[in-house]
C-alpha cells in the first residue's frame, strides 16, 4: 500500500476552519462589523435579509483596501493587524487572526467593493468557494462594502442546522448591539428585509445605552466610574428595580471587546448583595480598560472569552466599583466610606 496522507485543498481547509469562526449568520455579522471598526470607519451600515441567510452586507467609510490587499484579505492567515508573535500581547484591534474573510469566502458567495482615499478607482471582487471569479476596477465610495449571499450554500449540512429567520435575526441583533455599545462614537444602522431597525447617531456611552436598551432606563441607571493606574472601569448598572427574572441586559467590555465572564458576573452580583430579589439578574453595561499586555484574547476562536493576567484584581475592582456606585447614589442602604478606601487600597496593592 502506498502513502495515504494528502494535504487538503484550500477551500476545504477554509470550510473546516469556518466551522469555528462562522457558526451562523450572526458570527459573520460580528466579524464584518469588527473589520469596519478596525478600518477606522465612522459610519457603519448593516443590511440583512431573511435572518442573514440570504444576505449580510456591511458598508463602511473606513480606510478601504488597495487592489492587492483586497485579494490578500481572503487568504487564510492574512492580516494587517499583527506581524510578529509579540504583537499578540499588545492588540488594539478587534481582529488579528486573519481567518474571518477566508472563512466567509469558503461558505458564502461574496462581493467586495473597496476604495482607499488616494485611489481614483476602487476594486470589485466576486468570490465563490474561496476562489476569486471576478476582479475589476470600480467607481465606489471610499471605504469597504462587503456582501455575502446564501450562507452555507455549499455546505447544506451546516445550513440545515440554522434556526428559523426570527431566531437568527435575534442573534444578529445581539451581535449588532454588542458592537454598537462598544463604539458609541460611531454611527450605526441596521436594516432587515428592507426595514430600518436601528439608526444610531454617535453619542456618549449613556446615550448609546439608552438608544439601544430603551428610554425606560433613563432614570434607572447608576454611573460607575473608577480609575486606578492598573485599570479603569466605567459604565452603568441598573438600579435594583431593573433586575430581571431572566439574564437580560448584562454586558462586559474589555478594551472595547464584548466578553462573557461568569467570574466577573459573580463580582457584580455580589456587589448588589442583598439588594436584589432572589433569583433575579441585575442589569449592567460595564467598560473595563487596562493595558492590553494584561489580557490574553487569543484563547477562543471568536474571542468572547479572554484571560486576565491577574483576574483576582479585576474581580475585586469590579466588585468595589459597583458597590461604590450603588452606595453613592444611595441605592445601597448605608453610605459606606470604606468602599472608597477599598479602591485606594486596591490601587496601592497593584503598584
**Whose CA is closest to 254, among 305, 220, 207?**
305
Which of residues 100 and 106 has its CB atom nearest to ligand ADP in the complex? Answer: 100
**Whose CA is closest to 28, among 93, 88, 110, 96?**
110
| Cβ neighbour number for residue 351 with a 10 Å cutoff | 7
CA of 118: how far to CAs of 63, 66, 70, 112, 271, in Å? 10, 10, 15, 18, 52
Instruction: Using the rule CB under 6 A, give the single segment among 74-82, 223-231, 245-253, 282-290 that binds ligand ADP.
Output: 74-82
* Three-state SS at 288: strand
Q: Does 283 bind Mg ion (CB under 5 A)?
A: no
Q: Does 62 bind ligand ADP (CB under 6 A)?
A: yes
Is beta strand 284-290 parallel, antiparallel or unpaired with respect to 250-254? parallel
Q: Does 14 bind Mg ion (CB under 5 A)?
A: no
User: 232, exposed or middle or buried, with CB in 10 Å at 0-12, 13-18, 19+?
Assistant: middle
Which of residues 35 and 165 has its CB atom nearest to Mg ion in the complex? Answer: 35
Shortest Cβ 192–ligand ADP spacing (Å) = 21
Q: Does 81 bind ligand ADP (CB under 6 A)?
A: yes
Instruction: Using the rule CB under 6 A, give the single segment among 22-30, 55-63, 193-201, 224-232 that binds ligand ADP.
Output: 55-63
CA of 303: how far to CAs of 156, 168, 187, 260, in Å? 26, 20, 24, 9
Residue 73: name its binding partner from Mg ion, ligand ADP, none (Cβ under 5 to 8 Å by kind).
ligand ADP
CB crowding 70-87: b at 16 or more within 10 Å, else e: bbebbebeebeebeeeee
Residue 11: name its binding partner from ligand ADP, Mg ion, none (Cβ under 5 to 8 Å by kind).
none
Q: Does 292 bind ligand ADP (CB under 6 A)?
A: no
Provide DSSP, 7-43. PPPHHHHHHHHHHHH-SSHHHHHHHHHHHHHHTT-SE
Instruction: Pick out residues in 81-100 that bind Mg ion (CB under 5 A).
Output: 95, 100
Shortest Cβ 351–ligand ADP spacing (Å) = 35
Applying CB under 5 A, which of residues 14, 15, 27, 35 lies at the interface with Mg ion?
35
**Whose CA is closest to 47, among 199, 159, 210?**
199
CA of 350: how far to CAs of 32, 127, 231, 297, 346, in Å? 37, 51, 10, 22, 6
Q: Does 98 bind ligand ADP (CB under 6 A)?
A: yes
Instruction: Using the rule CB under 6 A, give the single segment among 34-42, 128-136, 201-209, 295-303 that binds ligand ADP.
Output: 34-42
Applying CB under 6 A, which of residues 24, 27, 29, 31 lies at the interface with ligand ADP?
31
Shortest Cβ 95–Mg ion spacing (Å) = 3
Q: Does 79 bind ligand ADP (CB under 6 A)?
A: yes
Which of residues 78 and 331 has its CB atom nearest to ligand ADP in the complex? Answer: 78
Q: Does 78 bind ligand ADP (CB under 6 A)?
A: yes
The residue of the chain with the least Cβ separation from ligand ADP equals 95
Shortest Cβ 122–ligand ADP spacing (Å) = 11
The backbone torsions φ and ψ at residue 281, rounded to the nearest 5 degrees and listed phi first, read -115, 130
| Cβ neighbour number for residue 246 with a 10 Å cutoff | 6
Interface contacts to ligand ADP, rule CB under 6 A: 31, 35-36, 38-39, 60, 62-65, 73, 78-81, 95-102, 144
Interface contacts to Mg ion, rule CB under 5 A: 35, 95, 100
Amino acid at each position: 500500500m502506498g502513502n495515504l496522507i494528502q494535504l487538503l485543498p484550500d477551500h476545504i481547509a477554509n470550510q473546516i476552519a469556518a466551522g469555528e469562526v462562522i457558526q451562523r449568520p450572526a458570527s459573520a455579522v460580528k466579524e464584518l462589523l469588527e473589520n469596519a471598526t478596525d478600518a477606522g470607519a465612522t459610519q457603519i451600515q448593516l443590511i440583512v435579509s431573511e435572518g442573514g441567510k440570504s444576505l449580510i452586507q456591511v458598508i463602511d467609510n473606513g480606510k478601504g483596501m488597495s487592489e492587492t490587499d483586497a485579494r490578500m484579505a481572503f487568504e487564510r492567515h492574512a492580516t494587517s493587524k499583527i506581524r510578529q508573535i509579540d504583537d499578540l500581547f499588545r492588540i488594539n484591534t478587534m481582529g488579528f487572526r486573519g481567518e474571518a474573510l477566508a472563512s466567509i469566502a469558503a461558505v458564502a458567495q461574496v462581493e467586495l467593493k473597496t476604495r482607499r482615499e488616494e485611489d481614483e478607482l476602487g476594486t470589485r471582487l466576486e468570490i465563490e468557494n474561496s476562489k476569486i471569479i471576478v476582479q475589476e476596477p470600480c467607481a465606489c465610495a471610499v471605504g469597504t462594502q462587503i456582501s455575502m449571499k446564501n450562507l452555507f450554500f455549499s455546505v447544506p449540512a451546516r445550513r440545515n442546522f440554522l434556526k428559523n429567520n426570527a431566531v437568527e435575526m435575534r442573534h444578529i441583533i445581539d451581535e449588532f448591539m454588542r458592537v454598537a455599545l462598544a463604539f458609541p462614537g460611531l454611527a450605526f444602522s441596521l436594516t432587515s428585509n428592507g426595514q430600518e431597525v436601528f439608526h444610531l447617531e454617535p453619542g456618549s456611552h449613556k446615550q448609546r445605552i439608552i438608544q439601544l436598551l430603551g428610554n425606560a432606563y433613563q432614570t434607572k441607571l447608576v454611573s460607575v466610574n473608577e480609575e486606578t493606574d492598573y485599570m479603569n472601569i466605567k459604565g452603568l448598572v441598573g438600579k435594583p428595580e431593573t433586575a430581571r427574572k431572566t439574564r437580560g441586559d448584562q454586558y462586559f467590555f474589555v478594551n472595547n471587546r464584548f466578553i462573557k465572564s461568569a467570574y466577573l458576573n459573580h463580582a457584580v452580583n455580589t456587589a448588589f448583595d442583598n439588594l436584589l430579589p432572589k433569583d433575579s439578574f441585575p442589569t449592567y453595561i460595564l467598560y473595563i480598560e487596562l493595558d492590553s499586555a494584561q489580557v490574553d484574547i487569543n484563547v477562543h476562536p471568536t474571542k468572547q472569552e479572554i484571560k486576565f493576567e491577574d483576574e483576582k484584581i479585576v474581580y475585586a475592582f469590579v466588585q468595589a466599583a459597583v458597590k461604590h456606585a450603588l452606595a453613592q447614589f444611595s441605592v445601597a442602604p448605608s453610605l459606606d466610606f470604606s468602599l472608597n478606601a477599598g479602591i485606594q487600597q486596591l490601587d496601592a496593592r497593584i503598584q
